[in-house]
Structure 1
Amino acid sequence: MDLREAVDQVMQRWLPRSGEPTVAVVGPAGSGRSTLVAALDPLLPGVRVCDGAADPGAAVTVLTFDASAPIGREELGLLTATRARGSVAIAVVTRVDAHHDAATVLDRDAALLAEYAPGAVTGRILPVSATTGRGLPELQEAVERALGDTGPTSHRRRAELDSARTLVLATAADLRRDGDAAALRERRAALVADRDGPRAEAGSALRRLSALARVDLTHHVADRVRAGVAVLRAELDRSGRSALHAFPDRVRDELGLLTAEVDATTGAALDALAAEVLGSPHPVAGPNRPPPAVDDPQPRHRGVEDRMMILVGASAGAGLGRLVVAPMSEIPALDLLALPLPLVVGGVAAWALTRMRGLAADRAHLRLWLAEVASQVRSGLEQRVLARLVELEAEVVDAVQRAHRGRVRTTEDSLVALDRELRECMARSSGRLAAVERDLLVLERALAEPFERVLRPSPQ
């Protein structure tokens, strides 16, 4: 295949021509171009005659000048545009039947064209009347002769080749940028970047929320134990001897209520933590450790101070008895009471002081026991809460890992499909780019050759 045939094929691919030649009729408003189109169209079978602005693909352009006045700047502008497109220009003066001085106007137009646009039109200016048919056979002959000529001029053909080259260059640039492949690469990069994102975000949220929950729950346990001990201590200070015997059972009852309240608060906090990390409700297991146990207080051992309190009570009672019987010594009949009464009063006083001292000592003993129990209960509840928190962390991590494995499988399937689509897209783009570059090489070679060799299209 020689260069001319290659150029014709490239031009047919990028700037295909219609199957019929085109004749464009242009002219100023009121010049009668529409009437001329209607009269010329039946005379040119197989030719498309259009009215209005000149078609860029028109092989011939008929310029209509009005017979009422010589041509001016507008007509010369239309002629210049026609010459720039390389179309064959034929000038006519219309409506010559309606103006008696049409011949003078025609001569004036010919002189103006010879002065300002020499050689711009083919042949002479034809006088035409679409109403009477004058000049139409001559115009038909001129158009057919122009259409049967060798085709577009060198200037027009080069302009077409330049247009085709610009279009080919733009297409090649688009293919090199490869917008489809770039979009696929962006989607692939987003998938790869987002593959581990949810797991990292869930891990970070779990660490943060777990630390906050640990602080909040241990503080809650400490506050509740402190409040419960304060209530029990107040009850202990008001308790009598019989209530002191039932005090350990009262402590156990309070501990049961406290444990239940702490478990409920812990469960609600862990539910909220799991839901926020996983994005959906997650069942939280209950406590798997027994509640803190409370041992009975050890019996209080009576010491030397208790015995000393008996002696002090007896001595105080004896003194009080002597004070009572001192006035009775003046009465002989009451002398018999002087000896036993101090003994009785002394015994009662000793018994009362011993009882009061024992009650105070028992309260102090139970108060120390309550402090030990509070420390033990607080430690046990904190271990109970933290054990549930650690178990929940393990469950949440396992759930996150399961979700991550499913997400990785889905992402890998999507990546495989994207890679396959990307390879196909690159193969298509490479093939299209190679074909476009071959066409571009043909056009650049054609533009570098002389007109007579390749710019003039092959005869049909």
Structure 2
Amino acid sequence: MALLKAVRAGSRSGAVTLIGPDDANTTLLRTELARYEPTIALGDPVQDAVAAVEITGASSATQAPVALILLDAGSALGGDTLRALRRLHRSGTHLILAMNGIHAHQDWRSVLELDRASLTAAGLGELEILPVSGRLAVAGRSTGDPGLIDRAGLGALHARLTAAATGADTVDAERAAAITARVIAETRARVEDQVRQLSSGAEPGRLREERARLLAGRDGGRTTALSTLRGQLHLARVDLLTEAGSRVRALHASARAELDRLRRREFRDYPERLQHAVTELTGQVDAEIEQRSAELTHRAGELLTHGVGEPSTHGVGEPLTHRVGELSPAEPTPYRRRDPAPRVGAEPDPRHRGVEDHLMIALGASAGVGLGRLLVSPLSLVPALEVASVPVTLLLGAGAAAWVVRARGQVADRNHVRQWMSEALVNVKAQLEQRVTTALVEIETALSDRVVRASAAAMVETDRRVAELEVRLRRMAAEQPGQLAACRRDIDCLDRRDSSVN
């Protein structure tokens, strides 16, 4: 409307001082503004707002100087810029503020509110800030999307500049008619596009599709997450129990080999050595449990991140995974057991002597006597030494009997300790398996609780979003007839205006 008023007034736009950074966004903005009629003469960008005061002061006395100030969409107004704006305003300069580059900053609306508050505090509350983007204008023009061109804001900025920067030269009737016809054609195209959108029912269909998708995943992925988690826990239980059994068997083999190398006097310290080995084994099993717990926690976090909800790009709300307090893969693992290591039990009882020991004494003495007789048999050939061979034979028999009894006792003691060690490791294995099972039950309880809490929050959020969609669907159904009627009235009005121009 500002453009049509400027054309109706029979004027051509004059020069406008451009105050802003000399970068790619500014260049693209000037290029896109040059496509509009009438052409706005924008000078080279003046990056120093203070120096712009003298530049605008040199404008023609027949017209108030006009300055286009480009603000950054990524940062709020500074004190120097506000002081320069006050000086320009007091000098009578017509100020037009535009926030350039909104396509590159998602939080530009927050920056816009801060800039408006700063202008109000500086006594410049009557100045309006127009959000613009040359990049959006290029995208809308290349795709033929009138809505995207409108969101670029260049049409509103050009109309504002045209209304402000008017010169004394008149515009010929043919050029004015051409500009008016172009404005009417573009407006009619936008209205017809709106009619097509309302008549096609694409927007309600898209909202219904999103509502169906939300309802299909209303449980927040709890069923899938719990099922997958239980499968992972079962696999972890099998792996950990197998690994614990394998480690106990390896310890049993090494303990048997060590026991075979020990002397009889070292049997007394063997239970302490075995307990030390069991403590080290328990630490290794605990480390494996913690590692598997970390993997399960990470897996549960991935399930929740990808299964609780999918991001929505339809403006109903932010992605659900950004709202629900789901389990993060970096969250501490739920397993922190530090129970004492299993005990191997009391020391083995002393071995009691039985019939086998007495039998070995008799066999040893008999073998010793026979060996002694064999050794002293040459002495019997000498009659004087035959009597002396008897004590030698007895001594040799006693020594052999003592050695046999001692060797048999050592073998029996080793077998006794080996039997005790085997029974102790069987008990240790049972305790380690119980340790693994208890730890996995605790992990399953903790992770299931987190999954249930996250999915419950997801269900609440899904219900809220479904309610929003239903409200929007009802509002669309109620407003569609009125919007179609308004669009048809606008088209009739534009047709009448086009006929009068022609």
TM-score for both structures, normalised by structure 2: 0.51
Q: Structure 1 segments of 4 or more deviating over 3 A?
A: 168-177, 330-336, 430-439
RMSD: 3.8
Q: Deviations over 1:174-232 (max 9, x none)?
A: 54532222222222223223332432332132112112111111111111111111111
Determine which of 343, 353, 366 is the counterpart of 1:293. Answer: 343
User: Is the aligned partner of 1:207 residue 2:230?
Assistant: yes
Cα deviations across residues 226-250 of structure 1 (Å, max 9, x unaligned)?
1111111111112210122222221
Using the TM superposition, give the Cα deviation of residue 356 of structure 1 relative to its aligned residue in structure 2, in angstroms.
0.8
Q: Is the 8 A contact 2:197 2:203 kept in 1?
A: no
Q: Which has the higher contact order (CA 8 A, sep 6+)?
A: 1
Question: For the pair shown, which has the larger CA radius of gyration, 1 or 2?
Answer: 1
Match of 1:268 in 2: 291
8 Å CA contact retained: 2:290, 2:333: no
| 2-structure distance, mates of 1:246, 1:234 | 16
**Once the 2 structures are TM-superposed, how far is the Cα of residue 305 of structure 1 from its aligned partner?**
1.6
Aligned partner of residue 419 in structure 1, secondary structure: helix
Contact 2:344 2:425 in 1 (8 A): no
- What amino acid maps onto 1:287 in structure 2? R
Asked whether the 8 Å contact 1:291–1:384 carries over to 2, the reply is no
TM-score, length-scaled by structure 1:
0.55
Instruction: Determine which of 366, 381, 406 is the counterpart of 2:457.
Output: 406
The Cα of 1:437 is off from its aligned counterpart by 10
CA contact (8 A) 1:314 1:350 kept: yes
User: In structure 1, what is the Cα distance between the partners aligned to 2:193 and 2:449?
Assistant: 54
Aligned length: 294
Is 1:196 the counterpart of 2:196? The answer is no
Distance 2:388 2:204 in 1: 124
CA positional deviation for 1:288: 6.0
Contact 1:325 1:342 in 2 (8 A): yes
- Name which of structure 1's ranges 371-380 and 220-229 shifts more when overlaid on structure 2: 371-380
What amino acid maps onto 2:295 in structure 1?
Answer: A
- 2:13 matched residue in structure 1: none
Match of 1:283 in 2: 333
2:265 corresponds in structure 1 to 242
Task: Identify the residue that residue 275 of structure 2 maps to in structure 1.
Answer: 252
Q: Give yes or no for contact 2:240–2:436 (8 Å, CA) kept in 1.
A: yes
Mapped partners of 2:253, 2:218: distance in 1: 54
What does 1:160-179 correspond to in 2, within 5 Å? 174-179=197-202
For structure 1, list consecutive stretches of 5 or more residues without a partner in the other structure: 1-18, 20-47, 51-55, 57-163, 440-460
- Among 349, 361, 369, the alignment partner of 2:412 is 361
Correspondence 1:309 to 2:332: no
Say if 1:287 and 1:384, in contact at 8 Å, map to a contact too.
Answer: no
- Aligned with residue 344 of structure 1, among 395, 399, 404: 395
Matches within 5 A, 1:21-170: none
- Residue 171 of structure 1 deviates from its aligned partner by 8.0
Q: Which amino acid aligns with 1:359?
A: Q
**Residues of 2 paired with 1:309 and 1:171: CA distance?**
111
Structure 2 counterpart of 1:180: 203
Shift of 1:297: 2.2
Percentage identity across paired residues of the two chains: 41
How far apart in 2 are the matches of 1:430 and 1:49? 39
| Structure 2 counterparts to residues 408-423 of structure 1, below 5 A | 408-423=459-474
Question: Counterparts of 1:216 and 1:270 in 2: how far apart (Å)?
Answer: 13
Deviation at 1:309, TM superposition (A): 0.7
